[in-house]
Chain A
Amino acid sequence: MERVCREHNIPGRLIPVPHFLSAGCGLAWCAPPEYRGVLQNILSDAGICCEAVQECLI
């Protein structure tokens, strides 16, 4: 995911999954909410499955 986002100049970075979203550890790609649509399209095109897309204040 990180590589695909970098290749498409999607701003953001990998962060630990916020505990209030998922209590089971792991990583999430953190990006500005306005990139939600383009990000989902890019991931879909790259065949990358993501568990969920959430909006929250970091």
Chain B
Amino acid sequence: MIYFDNAATTLQKPDPVIQAAVCAIRSLGNAGRGGHEATLAASRVLYETREKLAAFFHAESASRIAFTSNSTEALNIAIKGTLKEGDHVITTQLEHNSLLRPLYEMEERGVQLSIVPCDASGRIDPAELARSIRKNTKAVFCTHGSNVTGNLVDIAAIGKISRENGLLFGVDASQTAGTIPIDVQNMNIDILCFTGHKGMLGLQGTGGIYVHDGVSVRPLKTGGSGVQSYEHRHPAQMPEALEAGTPNGPGIAGLNAAVTYLLETGIDVIHTRELALMHRFYNGIRVIPGITVYGDFSADDRCPIVSLNVSGYDSSEVSDELSCTYQIATRPGAHCAPLMHEALGTVSRGAVRFSFSHYNTEKEVDFAISALREIAQES
């Protein structure tokens, strides 16, 4: 199989990630529960991973990073833990349902929601976002990169606008963490939500949330914390405040190894490689009659994603043909990003998304171009 669905999850993981997870399964106890060697080993792995992630995202300290099971959980914590009735919040048309649905839920609880539209190519203008600010605006939550077009949002500019206006700024880094540099302090990011299994190259079931020092977030879940057991209330200090129950020790051990891999390999090296593969694919398919490509390819501030349609076909038909006849894995449909597809005019048939990893090869890309040429000729 040729795997071009890396925006959903990266299938190929570095060997040290797999080895670390297997080793953890065989040796780690439950972190923070007791003082025997197996639990201490787990606590050490978790703390070291927090330290690495804090350095990776330029956080103030390891304690500002809490582990979650994915970006969705982190976004639910961020949105439901900061907004209340009467607040106004701003987001964009690019968002994934993992961000939109918690916001819609809060809208039902009395939060006012503004959604900043994108232009025809799927770009967001930070100045237009600034014009949406009201007296009661509490926060801006937005993605760092569209999971449909791959285009980045200028989060540094939005962070600056947010800080100047006293707004909380939360970022969904699902598509960018691990491949695009993120500096939470320089970018004025108050809350960063990330997943471990995409660009970070870790395992599914891992992720995290960074919370800027001084920002208060109500926990989404409470329970066992390993400390302050006789208190009725869950501990208020980070990171325990946003973690309850047994953490995913093996997954976090894998994430630890993944961060080391990313740093040793160089995320700039990885991203350059992925963009080269993406451009090779884009340049090969854009000239094929009957193929429509979505998004802005005029600059390299983007994720390695190409979404397209073939004239006369539903996206699911094309993706299925690619899978069954050519053994090429892609993602059709709406990509859990309904507003983005409304903007692109692709609600009725979705789009076929190709998303690349640095593990892909030029040969695989060229084969996919040939496959699409054959499919398009049949239409």
**Chain A positions near chain B (C-beta within 8 angstroms):** 2, 14-16, 23-27
Given A15-B35, A16-B34; A24-B229 close (CB under 8 Å): yes
Given A2-B44, A14-B40; A24-B35 close (CB under 8 Å): no
The dominant DSSP class at the B interface is loop
Q: Is B227 on the interface with A (CB-CB < 8 A)?
A: yes
B154 to chain A, nearest CB (A): 34
B233 to chain A, nearest CB (A): 12
> Across the interface, do B44 and A26 meet the contact criterion of CB distance under 8 Å?
no
> Across the interface, do B229 and A27 meet the contact criterion of CB distance under 8 Å?
no
Within the complex, which residue of B34, B40, B228 is in contact with A24, where a contact is CB–CB below 8 Å?
Answer: B228
Q: Which residues of A contact B226 (CB under 8 A)?
A: 25-26
Listed by A's residue number, 10 A-B pairs whose Cβ atoms lie within 8 Å are A2-B44, A15-B35, A16-B34, A24-B227, A24-B228, A24-B229, A25-B226, A26-B227, A26-B228, A27-B43
Q: Is B338 on the interface with A (CB-CB < 8 A)?
A: no
How many A-B residue pairs have C-beta atoms within 8 angstroms? Tell me. 25
Q: Which residue of A lies closest to B44 (CB)?
A: A2
Closest 3 CB pairs of A and B: A16-B35, A26-B227, A24-B228
Given A14-B35, A16-B34, A16-B35; A25-B44 close (CB under 8 Å): no
CA distance A14 to B226 in the complex (A): 14
- Most A-side CB within 10 Å, residue of B33, B34, B35, B229: B35
Q: Which residue of B lies closest to A26 (CB)?
A: B227
CA distance A25 to B35 in the complex (A): 10
Q: Which residues of B contact A24 (CB under 8 A)?
A: 227-231
> Across the interface, do B230 and A23 meet the contact criterion of CB distance under 8 Å?
yes
CA distance A1 to B230 in the complex (A): 24
Besides A24-B229, A26-B228, 14 more A-B contacts (Cβ < 8 Å) are: A14-B35, A14-B40, A15-B35, A16-B34, A23-B230, A24-B228, A24-B230, A25-B33, A25-B227, A25-B228, A25-B229, A26-B227, A27-B35, A27-B43
A4 to chain B, nearest CB (A): 12
CA distance A14 to B43 in the complex (A): 11
B351 to chain A, nearest CB (A): 49
